[in-house]
A and B are shown apart, each in its own frame.
Chain A
Amino acid sequence: MSTPARVLVAGASAAGLATAEALRRKGYTGALTLLGDEEHVPYDRPPLSKQVLAGAWQPERSHLRTREVLDALDAEFLLGDAAASLDVANRTVHTESGRALAADAIVLATGVRPRTLPGQEGLTGVHVLRSLDDALALRAELLAARRLLVVGDGVLGAEIAATARGLGVEVVLAGPQAAPLAAQLGPLASGLLAELHNENGVKLRLGAGVDGLTTDAANSGRVTGARLCTGEVLEADLVVVALGAIPCTDWLEDSGLVLGNGVVCDSRCRAADGIYAAGDVARWHHEHLGSLLRLENRTNATEQALAVAANLLGADQPYTPIPYFWTDQFDAKLQIHGVLTADAEVSVVEGDPAARRFVARYARHGKAVGVLGWNMPKQARLHRRQHLGGSR
């Protein structure tokens, strides 16, 4: 494909912004438009469950770039207007407000939205945490809350629990796993996380999924807690639901693109001729793993955007990253490189888990598949290179 004269990016968060920046860095001089559903300039999500929720950062500190840097990008930002439909043949995005935006190439970077519990809508005192506004709304109630119930034992739920505990709120963390992040990290690291939460006063109510939310008998419309699938009821005056996310592809349903847990793409992150996807919403063919993959992490948003920008300009390169994410909970900084599985063979290759400073190598059938660092970020990166290889 020849270099497009006009590129439209649907989505103005990390992946959308990174696509635009990478295009300019690679010398693209054509027209560039970013469409965002929120009014905010592009901001970063990882701080929302930590620094922003804790109040350590003012919201502006989560902005990804200053106004000057955004201006220098020479891109048109259309904010506060969501993509509503896509005409693939004419490469045109129609927006909620009625705009018709035509381009030679379109990048789909609309991200994900939080999964919710049945009956959650319309109840007060129940939150999700995906956007900056979500974080500020949760923080406002958290400051007055006595007991927070976190529904969900993944990364986001565990981070929210740690942050809320740091604010002095009583916290219960509920979820179906044996320990926080057990499916992602396996028994050693998730067991250490459970210990860490326990020591810091988070009450773990694990091993049972949440069935639904409860309200008071007077039907005030305010949540009073949640019911577990065992029948047990957990009381709380504030609930946050962190049960994962769903790709924002509703607006693409009539487009003719292949959808299935994301926008299905080839190994070049291409969904159709001139149409690419990047970030949380993209499910692409990872040539090294030999399967479709969709990653919801901050680094993928940037790395995939770089790959898409290169392919838009004619590189024709497959996107084959080594996945990476990090999480900060209490005093623990975890770095996870590769694809860890709960049943992997885990060996400590540096440091000591008892000292809570170590690097572990994860292997399957003797072959390294991942590296986990616990309060050893630099060492984890060095082991990643040693054990997982890759171009970086």
Chain B
Amino acid sequence: MTANIFAASFFSDAYEWVTTLRLPVGEWVNVFVDFLMDTFGNQFAAIRTGISWMVDLLEAIIGFVPYWGVAIIIALIAWRIAGRGVAIFSLLGVLFIANIQLWDYAVITLAQIITATVIALVIGVPTGILAAKFKTVNSIVRPILDFMQTMPAFVYLIPAVFFFRIGSVPAVFATIIFAMPPAIRLTSLGIRQVPVELIEAGEAYGSNWHQLLFKIQLPQAMPTIMAGVNQCIMLALSMVVIASMIGAGGLGSVVRDGISSLDVGKGFEGGIAVVVIAIILDRLTQGSGKN
């Protein structure tokens, strides 16, 4: 009886506690963001300069070549690694984007996507390798990846603006966070799927870890890693409209411009240009994965 009363009061107390003592999670995050800004202001400024340099450089390079030049170059690359069909599609796709007057916007978007993807891969692939090799790394990285992938992107747009101001840099930063997880996951998966016999054979011939990694594991895992690269690019493209909310410009702002002025046609044109770029990049990375 007393036990029952005790239990009842315990649970009602616990219930009270759950609902009344609200954890100030939001305030902790605010304090943390302020702390980061105060402490690492210079580092953020340096990262900002670096990323902005890379985006500007790419934009200058892609923008320097006329659209038909880019169309031919991409078509040639596509012919070489993905076949004639993809080459023709790429050629027509770029000409189509230029035809609907969106090439200048596409250049900005491409520069940002490429920058974000390259950085995501430079961080992601080694992290994937480490996660495949060490169980501890894997168990630390996995929940972080879940977090990165499922946290709605809107949530880190504004901190990204605090750290990196508006423009292409916070957009690239937000895109990296959103697009990196599959690169890490699939790299790690690819390496772990390499047959044990192959590793043992390598070890029997006296290979060190370095030789094992570069001569056996990475080549064997390459198709899976390329699937990760492919996913990374696709996710980066899916961020363009969201990124335009923090000043990224490019095709995303064309879409938002169309939608927010009730001009569905204009929004659709921006959207279809994104789709064309996505298909070209998808076929190119899939093609190079097969080779």
Q: Do A and B bind each other?
A: no
